[in-house]
Amino acid sequence: MSSTTDTGSTAKPLDFQNAQVAFDSKSTFQLFRTWAVFRICGIGFIVRNCDTLYNLSAKVFGKTLLHLGVRYTFFNHFCAGESVDGIRPKMEYLRSHGIGGILDYAAEAKDDDVAEAEAVACEDSTVGAPLSSRRYDYKGEAVCDANALIFADAIRGVKDASPDGFAAIKLSGLVNPVLLQRMTTLISELNIFFKDLSTDSDIEDDMRATPYHLIDRSFTLNYEQFSEGWKRFFVVESEENLRQTFEALDLGEDGTIDFIDWFNGLKLSEINVLCRGCTKEGPLFRAALDEEEVILYRNMLTRVRTLLDLAQELGVRVMVDAEWMDIQPAIDHIVLFLQRTFNHGDEPIVFNTYQTYLKGMERAVKRDLDLSRKEGWRFGAKVVRGAYMVSERKKAQERGVESPIHESYEETEAEFHASIDAILAHTALEHAPALVPGSTDGPGRTADAEIVVASHSRISIERTVQKMEEFGTNRDHVYFGQLLGMADHLTFTLGANGYKAYKYVPYGPIGEVMPYLIRRTQENSAILGSAGVQEERRMVRTELLRRMNPLRMFT
Assess whether 356 and 438 both reside in one domain: yes
Assess whether 458 and 496 both reside in one domain: no
In whole angstroms, what is the distance from residue 490 CA to residue 505 CA? 16
**158 is a domain residue:** no
Assess whether 348 and 430 both reside in one domain: yes
Q: How confident is the model at residue 409 (pLDDT cuts 50, 70, 90)?
A: confident
**368 is a domain residue:** yes
Assess whether 227 and 247 both reside in one domain: yes
- Other Cβ atoms within 10 Å of 264 Cβ, number: 16
pLDDT of residue 42: 76
pLDDT digits (tens, 9 = 90+) for 36-55: 888 887 788 888 888 899 99
Q: What is the CATH number of the domain that holds 239?
A: 1.10.238
* Final residue of a structural domain among 473, 508, 539: 473
**279 is a domain residue:** yes
pLDDT of residue 190: 86
Assess whether 445 and 542 both reside in one domain: no
Number of structural domains the chain divides into: 3
In whole angstroms, what is the distance from residue 144 CA to residue 140 CA? 6
**143 is a domain residue:** no
Rounded to two decimals, the pTM is 0.85
| 346 or 127, greater pLDDT | 346
Closest CA to 354 of 325, 312, 391, 393: 325
CA 371 to chain centre: 18
Looking at the DSSP bridge assignments, the partners of residue 278 are 234
Assess whether 347 and 444 both reside in one domain: yes
In whole angstroms, what is the distance from residue 296 CA to residue 145 CA? 12
End-to-end Cα spacing for the chain: 44
Contact residues for 167 (Cβ-Cβ < 8 A; gap 6+)? 102, 103, 151, 154, 155, 157, 158, 311, 316, 317, 318, 319
**267 is a domain residue:** yes
Mean per-residue pLDDT for 98-119?
A: 64
**273 is a domain residue:** yes
pLDDT digits (tens, 9 = 90+) for 246-297: 998 888 888 998 888 887 888 888 888 788 777 777 888 888 888 889 999 9
Strands 99-105 and 166-169: parallel
In whole angstroms, what is the distance from residue 219 CA to residue 471 CA? 32
Assess whether 40 and 20 both reside in one domain: yes
pLDDT digits (tens, 9 = 90+) for 484-519: 988 999 999 999 999 999 999 999 999 888 887 887
Most confident of 22-31, 103-112, 136-145, 377-386: 377-386
Assess whether 109 and 41 both reside in one domain: yes
**121 is a domain residue:** no
Assess whether 395 and 414 both reside in one domain: yes
**122 is a domain residue:** no
pLDDT of residue 441: 37
pLDDT of residue 550: 64
Assess whether 520 and 458 both reside in one domain: no
Assess whether 3 and 105 both reside in one domain: yes
Looking at the DSSP bridge assignments, the partners of residue 353 are 382
DSSP per-residue string spanning 389-437: HHHHHHHHHHHTS--SB-SSHHHHHHHHHHHHHHHHHHHHGGG-GGGST
**Single-letter residue type at 428:** A
Assess whether 448 and 374 both reside in one domain: yes
pLDDT digits (tens, 9 = 90+) for 352-376: 999 999 999 999 999 999 889 888 8
Q: How confident is the model at residue 212 (pLDDT cuts 50, 70, 90)?
A: confident
pLDDT digits (tens, 9 = 90+) for 135-162: 333 457 888 998 899 999 999 999 988 8
* Final residue of a structural domain among 447, 473, 499: 473
Domain boundaries, position 192: 186-286
Contact residues for 501 (Cβ-Cβ < 8 A; gap 6+)? 98, 99, 100, 479, 480, 481, 482, 491, 492, 494, 495
Helices and strands counted in the chain (H then E): 24, 12
pLDDT of residue 318: 97
| 182 or 118, greater pLDDT | 182
